[in-house]
């Protein structure tokens, strides 16, 4: 059981668990044979067999081996259950990191518009982006809850889970800050374009009046 190692993905984890259940069925199927051997040995001892000491030793080893096998199976089951949960968490984490990467790529755009209409269009686009960003925050929260559950359950890979979720939360906070910064920059760009448009209109009117004089 130990030699199989740990699964590298969710599909493999599920396969390992199924195989482990099959081993349990095989162990249970041998239970009747083990009990028969045990009963036979005990009867020999009761009958005063000349090799009772050796039989008792054999019975002790049989009991010990059975106990160790049962414990090994339970330990492996716990490990495989944790391995499956880890792969599920990593799958969610990968999806979340991919989503964050896409948002980061959107926010590195430095275009603030060259006219009033362009800035207004960019603002509408950013408002839609922020709405989708807010909706996706629940996905990040769900991944965080999953991570905290595994950590509290003393998962064997808790250290890496802590590092993974910490990195995700830091990137999430950075995306929110980048979004806030871009919204402010677009607001300032809007004010600039309004000023430039007004300034152009006033300058045109003044030039027109000066030419008339």
Residue 171 included in any domain:
yes
**Residue 65: band (very low, low, confident or very high) from pLDDT cuts 50, 70, 90:** very high
The residue range of the domain holding 94 is: 8-212
Q: What is the DSSP letter of 108?
A: T
- Give the count of domains, the chain: 1
pLDDT value at position 63?
A: 92
Residue 20 included in any domain:
yes
pLDDT value at position 37?
A: 92
- How far CA 6 is from CA of 19, 153, 161, 207, in Å, comes to 13, 18, 16, 80
User: What is the average per-residue pLDDT within 24-34?
Assistant: 88
Residue 3 included in any domain:
no
For residue 123, give the CATH number of its domain: 1.20.58.60
Residue 181 included in any domain:
yes
pLDDT value at position 5?
A: 87
pLDDT value at position 204?
A: 63
Residue 45 included in any domain:
yes
Residue 86 pLDDT more than 90? yes
Task: Using the CB atoms, write b or e for 47-73: b if 16+ within 10 Å.
Answer: eeeeeeeebeeebeeeeeebeeeeeeb
Handedness of CA 27, 32, 35, 36 (dihedral sign): negative
Residue 39 included in any domain:
yes
Residue 129 pLDDT more than 90? yes
pLDDT value at position 52?
A: 85
**Residue 51: band (very low, low, confident or very high) from pLDDT cuts 50, 70, 90:** confident
pLDDT value at position 2?
A: 65
Stretch among 158-162, 166-170, 201-205 having the lowest mean pLDDT? 201-205
Helix (H, G, I), strand (E, B) or coil at 113: coil
Closest Cα to residue 150, out of 87, 94, 97, 99? 87
Residue 184 included in any domain:
yes
Closest Cα to residue 143, out of 80, 104, 95? 95
pLDDT value at position 213?
A: 59
Residue 2 included in any domain:
no
Output the average pLDDT for the chain: 91
């Amino acid at each position: 059981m130990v030699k199989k190692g740990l699964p590298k993905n969710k599909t493999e984890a599920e396969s390992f668990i199924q195989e482990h259940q099959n081993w349990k069925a095989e162990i249970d199927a041998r239970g009747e044979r083990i009990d028969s051997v045990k009963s036979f040995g005990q009867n020999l001892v009761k009958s005063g067999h000349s090799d009772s000491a050796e039989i008792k030793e054999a019975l002790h080893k049989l009991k010990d081996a059975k106990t160790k096998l049962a414990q090994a199976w339970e330990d492996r089951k716990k490990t495989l259950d944790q391995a499956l949960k880890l792969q599920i968490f990593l799958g969610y984490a990968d999806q979340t990191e991919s989503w964050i990467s896409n948002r980061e790529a959107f926010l590195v755009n430095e275009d603030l518009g060259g006219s009033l209409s362009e800035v207004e269009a960019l603002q509408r686009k950013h408002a839609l982006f922020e709405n989708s960003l807010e909706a996706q925050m629940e996905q990040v929260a769900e991944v965080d809850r999953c991570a905290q559950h595994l950590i509290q359950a003393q998962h064997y890979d808790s250290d890496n889970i802590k590092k993974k979720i910490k990195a995700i939360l830091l990137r999430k906070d950075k995306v929110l800050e980048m979004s806030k910064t871009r919204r402010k920059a677009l607001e300032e760009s809007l004010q600039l374009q309004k000023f430039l448009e007004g300034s152009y209109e006033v300058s045109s009117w003044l030039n027109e009046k000066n030419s008339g004089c």
